[in-house]
Amino acid sequence: MPHEAISVFDIFKIGVGPSSSHTLGPWRAAQRFVQTLNDSSRLFDVSSIRVLLYGSLAKTGKGHGTDVAIQLGLCGDDPVTFAVDQIDSKINDIKNMKKMVLMGLHEIDFDPAEDIEFLYTESLPFHPNAVTFLAALKNGENVAETFYSIGGGFVVKEQEEKSSTTAVQLPFPIATADDLLHWCIKTGLCIHEVVLENELAWRSEKETKDGVLNIWRVMKECIYRGCHTKGILPGGLEVKRRAFELNKRLLGNATYTDYNSWLHAIRSGGQHFNYILDWVSCFALAVNEENASFGRVVTAPTNGAAGVIPAVLQYYIAFCADGLAEEKLNEKIIQFLLTASEVGSLFKKGATLSAAMGGCQAEIGVSSAMAAAGLTECMGGSQRQAMMASEIAMEHHLGLTCDPIGGLVQVPCIERNTMGAIKAITASQLALQGTPDFAKVSLDAVIKTMWQTALDMNLKYKETADGGLAVNVPLSLPEC
């Protein structure tokens, strides 16, 4: 039976906020649709396009910018490289002129208010996040394709065979945590070393390491940018950015000019518990405030949970790795992210990364489990301790609902990233001080339980804004 081969760069994707499943996924789906038209020499025959959004994509699509992402994707813009400060102007141009240039090549009439339909009461059976593209051709023919955004930016087309990654033969095929442990025991390799060997199926070791360090570069820039940007988040909730003021308060009169001197200023503040705790929260808030503002973030493994892993890794760098030479520190960063990515892939294979399928346990819970494993390996923990840390982190996120107020990735999403980061650090500490042989719950057991919980969860708690805080908190109230 073929295994699903998932790369570190499938789990960690550079993109634009606020949501991996509601922004990045639909963006990629739109890109794929127009690329198919172009590949079949039908792009210039298109006279009009309609977009149908179903289920969760319809219910929370406005708040997540699904319509914005789809328009940019149809235009051929890429979420990795498109200048985020140009999003508003481009969308306003389409709205005002009622024109769109498909792939930047072929202009058609397009009115977002008429041509993007939010089907709030309709859902397709395969997955709650569904979008259908309907293209009318000049010769009277029609082209229709349906895509599902299944979480973490992963997209599948209706009736499409499994991803081509299943055809990649890895030296260490892994479907479960037991499989991962088997290869670690058999080879004596750490988790990140097993992952690095598997990545050779796609690219050279240097390319993988350079790519992982680039992922960290984007995360690091996002943290720094978020800590130095103030204002009100878009969307109408009037949520005030908090990372800016917290950063300023924690550093007092310290002066710095860039990330490195900022990091030095942070370290100079000491190792007090409250001080460190505040910084972990600040790091997480910074990322998710950027995410809520359509900023550039790394899906880790989702956008709604994009702040957990950067916050925990930044915590390690700031408070656990002082004095490490740059080369050694880079090795630790690679170790952290490779280990974390493998845990993320286990949850994708055994459960889900989609809040529309599993609630927020599939986002914050998974990211916390990933961060806990990565931190544990960096702190010298064994393979079993890393898996134990991952299990502990998820065990205490089981049943976490997704109830975004106003359909925005703001309340309670931003604060939940701080909770996920702190739980990851606590889980790592418990595992490092524990004995995995005596653990009562395995990582595979908690993944199975998470999926069962997801199946049992009431639909209104799965990223619909139909339950929980979304219906009990007036939209006019600020978060704090």
Is the pLDDT assigned to residue 165 strictly greater than 70?
no
**Are 411 and 292 within 8 A, CB to CB?**
no
Tell me what the mean pLDDT of segment 411-436 comes to. Answer: 97
- The pLDDT value recorded for residue 3 is 73
**Confidence at 161, pLDDT banded by 50, 70, 90:** low
Is the pLDDT assigned to residue 90 strictly greater than 70?
yes
Is the pLDDT assigned to residue 164 strictly greater than 60?
no
- Cα torsion angle, 379, 380, 383, 384, sign: negative
Residue from 290, 284, 293 nearest 235 by CA: 293
- Domains of the chain, by residue range, sit at 8-164, 169-472
**Are 196 and 170 within 8 A, CB to CB?**
no
CA dihedral angle for residue 151, residue 153, residue 156, residue 157, rounded to 10 degrees: 120
Q: Which of 27-31, 282-286, 436-440 has the lowest mean pLDDT?
A: 436-440
- The string of pLDDT tens digits covering residues 168-179 is 999 999 999 999
**Are 298 and 344 within 8 A, CB to CB?**
no
Tell me what the mean pLDDT of segment 456-474 comes to. Answer: 94
Tell me what the mean pLDDT of segment 293-317 comes to. Answer: 97
Is the pLDDT assigned to residue 363 strictly greater than 60?
yes
From CA 391, how far away is CA 366, in angstroms rounded? 10
**Are 106 and 44 within 8 A, CB to CB?**
yes
Is the pLDDT assigned to residue 196 strictly greater than 70?
yes
Give me the phi and psi of 17, to 5 degrees please: -70, 175
Q: Which of 1-10, 47-56, 399-408, 410-419 has the lowest mean pLDDT?
A: 1-10
- The pLDDT value recorded for residue 78 is 96
Mean pLDDT score of the chain = 95
Tell me what the mean pLDDT of segment 117-146 comes to. Answer: 96
> Which is more confident, 63 or 248?
248
Is the pLDDT assigned to residue 2 strictly greater than 80?
no
Q: Which of 158-167, 168-177, 309-318 has the lowest mean pLDDT?
A: 158-167
Fold of 8-164: 60s Ribosomal Protein L30; Chain: A; (3.30.1330)
- The string of pLDDT tens digits covering residues 13-56 is 999 999 999 999 999 999 999 999 999 999 999 999 999 999 99
From CA 390, how far away is CA 442, in angstroms rounded? 9
**Confidence at 304, pLDDT banded by 50, 70, 90:** very high
From CA 319, how far away is CA 259, in angstroms rounded? 15
- The pLDDT value recorded for residue 160 is 78
**Confidence at 163, pLDDT banded by 50, 70, 90:** very low
User: Between 191-199 and 326-350, two packed helices, what is the crossing angle to 10 degrees?
Assistant: 80
Is the pLDDT assigned to residue 480 strictly greater than 80?
no
- The pLDDT value recorded for residue 474 is 81
Is the pLDDT assigned to residue 478 strictly greater than 60?
no
